[in-house]
């Protein structure tokens, strides 16, 4: 069934509204009253007070399509078919109300009867201890044993103490041509063949301070389905970026650059980075964040700079991201009127930021190229930490940008020495300014939330107090 992103979003809400759920609007990407998070990164994040009992929801069943930002996936963007830094998470939630017996069959019904996915292509993972979930998948839904795969920590959701529990993830087999070809490739493999579309979390335990698990008197359901992923399946396109939620952005970037999408793998990565990062920045600014040197502001700045650089890789040497802002608004404005209402403001902020970066970027890249030429001439393979720091400090190059450019020519960057330089600068900077509260907590939360994260760490980012902007 070919459905637009908007149709899927609406069908999902309607399906669960018909089953007693209150339709919640997406919360702002900027967390409200939550010092542990930099950005809302899951549908349940703004609903935390309902999960831990601090507040009582109007109804014990909620459905939403939540705007999410995950900076830990930044390195994946353009390289996997399924990761963005901004995505929408469709979610249904139960607060001490229904549990697995309802959540699992409903998920199945929605996927196979409403979205009309081929049941033969679906498989699931469960936690190895979760015989209850196994029985529902096997006996109620009728899934054969070989398509119910028992996993371990990937199928257990917890952050330190508090409510936690097993989860069951649903995968769609995109076909062998998407696979890594390994003999043990199945649901849960990190390649793009078995696409994780939906995570059902069964919050049934409380993790106690002594590390033991006690059953919760009121069990919760917390699910999350990536809208762009399910759209890629339904629209039969090979990755999230070719869905109607993204494609107009790629087309616009193709027009501006004169390059053609789909002809060169390296260029395609840049198209995807541009489309992704622009969307993230538009929504972040739409929710009140602004480019800056710290925290959320630095994330926006970093995303814009990466997108600028991808633009340059496609041959665009002038500010152009601001021209894509209205495209985001065209795609998303109906269900997210905030981006439409703030269009002019967002465009202006993006343009100013782009212009400032262009001024320093060209100078930094020229310098780096000279350094790499010299290293090559001397038969060396590693750029000194001091040089990387100079690019960072004087030209606003994030370390990953320097590493990317160096890697393209086969060079390494001495990250440890860079970190030392940074540490020294931090010490100096600390004396000159106040540290914002809760930064360590945010970093810890980000790190624990993500398995195998390559996010460079919040401390490193927040340390950039006097990056030249
Ligand atoms: P993956 O293993 O593919 O990185 P995940 O296990 O980290 O995904 P969850 O935390 O379970 O993802 O989030 C629930 C759902 O949200 C996922 O099943 C997926 O559909 C979607 N999702 C998660 N991260 C992203 C992302 N970076 N971009 C797009 N969709 C995402
Ligand atoms: Mg996963
Ligand atoms: Mg998951
Ligand atoms: Mg992930």
Q: What is the DSSP string of 158-178?
A: --SSEEEEEEEEEEEE--GGG
Nearest alpha carbon, ligand 1 atom 5:
196
Residue 383: strand pairing partners = 413
The upper half-sphere exposure of residue 131, i.e. CA atoms within 13 Å in the direction of its Cβ, equals: 0
pLDDT in tens, 91-150: 999 999 999 999 999 999 999 999 999 999 999 999 999 999 999 999 999 999 999 999
Which pTM was predicted?
0.85
Ligand 1, residue 198: give the atom nearest the CA: 18
Q: What pLDDT was estimated at residue 113?
A: 98
Ligand 1 site-directed mutation target among 87, 117, 167, 454, most atoms within 8 Å of CB: 87
Local structure of residue 435 (DSSP, 8 states) = P
Q: Report the pLDDT averaged over residues 14-34.
A: 96
Ligand 1, residue 201: give the atom nearest the CA: 11
Nearest alpha carbon, ligand 1 atom 11:
199
| CATH superfamily ID and name for 5-234 | Bira Bifunctional Protein; Domain 2 (3.30.930.10)
Q: What pLDDT was estimated at residue 217?
A: 85
Ligand 1, residue 89: give the atom nearest the CA: 16
Handedness of CA 104, 110, 112, 115 (dihedral sign): negative
Q: What pLDDT was estimated at residue 433?
A: 57
Strands 162-173 and 412-413: unpaired
Cβ(273)–Cβ(78) below 8 Å: yes
* Region of poorest pLDDT, from 205-219, 266-280, 421-435: 421-435
* Ligand 1 pocket list (CB less than 6 A): 70, 73, 82-84, 87, 89, 196-199, 224-226, 228-229
Cβ(126)–Cβ(168) below 8 Å: yes
Ligand 2 center from residue 293 Cα (angstroms): 31
Ligand 1 site-directed mutation target among 89, 196, 222, most atoms within 8 Å of CB: 196
* Dist. CA 332–CA 104, nearest whole Å: 30
Q: Where in the chain is the domain with CATH 3.30.930.10?
A: 5-234
The three-point CA angle 374-377-379 to 5° equals: 110
Could you write out the DSSP letters of every residue in 200-256?
Answer: EEEEEEEE-TTS-EEEEEEEEEEEEEEHHHHHHHHTT-SSGGGSTTTHHHHHHHHHH
Residue 84, pLDDT above cutoff 90? yes
Residue 184, pLDDT above cutoff 90? no
Identify which ligand lies nearest to the alpha carbon of 41.
Answer: 1
pLDDT in tens, 28-46: 999 998 888 999 999 999 9
Cβ(155)–Cβ(126) below 8 Å: yes
Ligand 4 center from residue 451 Cα (angstroms): 7
The three-point CA angle 169-174-178 to 5° equals: 115
* Dist. CA 46–CA 33, nearest whole Å: 9
Q: Report the pLDDT averaged over residues 298-302.
A: 94
| Mean pLDDT of the chain, nearest integer | 90
Ligand 1 center from residue 74 Cα (angstroms): 13
Ligand 1, residue 167: give the atom nearest the CA: 11
* Dist. CA 400–CA 289, nearest whole Å: 23
Residue with token string 């970026």? 241
pLDDT in tens, 376-417: 999 999 999 999 999 998 888 878 789 989 998 999 999 999
pLDDT in tens, 220-246: 999 999 999 999 999 999 999 999 999
Nearest alpha carbon, ligand 1 atom 3:
196
pLDDT in tens, 436-469: 444 455 444 444 443 333 333 333 333 333 332 2
**b vs e for 137-147, b when ≥16 Cβ sit within 10 Å of the residue's Cβ?**
bbeebebeeeb
Q: Report the pLDDT averaged over residues 254-267.
A: 97
The three-point CA angle 7-98-60 to 5° equals: 75
């Amino acid at each position: 069934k070919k459905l637009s992103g908007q149709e899927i979003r609406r069908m999902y809400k309607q399906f669960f509204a018909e089953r007693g759920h209150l339709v919640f609007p997406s919360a702002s990407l900027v967390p409200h009253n939550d010092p542990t998070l930099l950005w809302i990164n899951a549908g349940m994040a703004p609903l935390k007070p309902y999960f831990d009992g601090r507040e009582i929801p109007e109804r014990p069943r909620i459905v939403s399509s939540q705007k999410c930002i995950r900076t830990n996936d930044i390195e994946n963007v353009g390289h996997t078919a399924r990761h963005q830094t901004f995505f929408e998470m469709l979610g249904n939630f139960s607060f001490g109300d229904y549990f697995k017996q309802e959540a699992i069959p409903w998920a199945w019904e929605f996927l196979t009867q409403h979205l009309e996915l081929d049941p033969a292509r679906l498989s699931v993972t469960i936690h190895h201890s979760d015989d209850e979930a196994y029985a529902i998948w096997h006996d109620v839904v009728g899934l054969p044993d070989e398509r119910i795969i028992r996993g371990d920590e990937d199928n257990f959701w917890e952050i330190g103490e508090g409510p936690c529990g097993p989860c069951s993830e649903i995968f769609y087999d995109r076909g062998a041509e998407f696979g890594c070809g390994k003999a043990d490739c199945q649901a849960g493999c990190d390649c793009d063949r078995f696409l994780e579309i939906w995570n059902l979390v069964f919050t049934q335990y409380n993790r106690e301070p002594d590390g033991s698990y006690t059953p919760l008197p009121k069990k919760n359901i917390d699910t999350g389905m990536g809208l762009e992923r399910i759209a890629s399946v339904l629209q039969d396109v090979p990755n999230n970026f070719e869905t109607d939620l993204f494609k107009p952005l790629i087309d616009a970037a193709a027009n501006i650059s004169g390059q053609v999408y789909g002809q060169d793998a390296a260029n395609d990565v840049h198209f995807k980075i541009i489309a992704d990062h622009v969307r993230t920045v538009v929504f972040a600014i739409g929710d009140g964040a602004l480019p800056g040197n710290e925290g959320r502001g630095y994330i926006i700045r970093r995303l814009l700079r990466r997108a600028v650089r991808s633009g340059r890789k496609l041959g665009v040497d002038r500010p152009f991201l601001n021209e894509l802002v209205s495209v985001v608004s065209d795609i998303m404005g109906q269900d997210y009127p905030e981006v439409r209402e703030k269009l002019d403001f967002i465009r202006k902020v993006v343009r100013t930021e782009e212009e400032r970066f262009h001024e320093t970027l060209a100078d930094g890249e020229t310098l780096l190229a000279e350094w790499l030429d010299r290293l090559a001439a001397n038969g060396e393979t590693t750029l000194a930490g001091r040089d990387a720091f100079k690019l960072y400090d004087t030209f606003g190059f994030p370390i990953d940008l320097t590493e990317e450019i160096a890697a393209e020519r086969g060079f390494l960057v001495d990250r440890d020495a860079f970190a030392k330089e940074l540490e020294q600068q931090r010490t100096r900077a600390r004396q000159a300014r106040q540290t914002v509260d809760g930064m360590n907590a945010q970093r810890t939360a980000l790190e624990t939330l993500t398995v195998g994260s390559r996010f460079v760490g919040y401390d490193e980012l927040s340390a950039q107090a006097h990056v030249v902007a």
